[in-house]
Amino acid sequence: MTPQRRILLCSSQSESEQLIAKHLGTGNFHVERVGPDSIDQPAALLANQPDLLILMSEPEDATAAIEIIKAIRLVKDSVAIVHLIQDSHYRIRVESLKAGSDESLSFPFALEELDARIEALLRRCGMGVNHLDGAQISHADLVLNTDTREVTRADVTEKLTVKEYDLLTFFLQNPNQAMARKAILHSVWGQTWTGDDNLLEVYIRYLRKKIERPGHDKLLQTVRGVGYMLR
The tens digit of pLDDT for each residue in 150-196 reads 999 999 999 888 888 889 999 998 999 999 998 898 888 776 666 66
Q: Do 102 and 163 form a contact (C-beta atoms < 8 A)?
A: yes
Beta bridge partners of 55: 10, 83
Domain 136-230 indexed as CATH 3.40.190.10? no
Query: What are the residue ranges spanned by the domains of the chain?
Result: 5-127, 136-230
**Is 1's pLDDT higher than 50?**
no
Closest CA to 81 of 108, 114, 103: 103
The tens digit of pLDDT for each residue in 5-31 reads 889 888 876 678 888 888 888 877 888
The one-letter amino acid at 93: R
Confidence of residue 86 (pLDDT cuts 50, 70, 90): confident
Q: What CATH architecture does domain 5-127 belong to?
A: 3-Layer(aba) Sandwich (3.40)
**Is 211's pLDDT higher than 60?**
yes
What local confidence, expressed as pLDDT, does residue 94 receive?
A: 84
CA pair distance 102, 104, nearest whole angstrom: 7
Percent of the chain clearing pLDDT 90 (strictly above): 27
Closest CA to 229 of 157, 181, 197, 182: 181
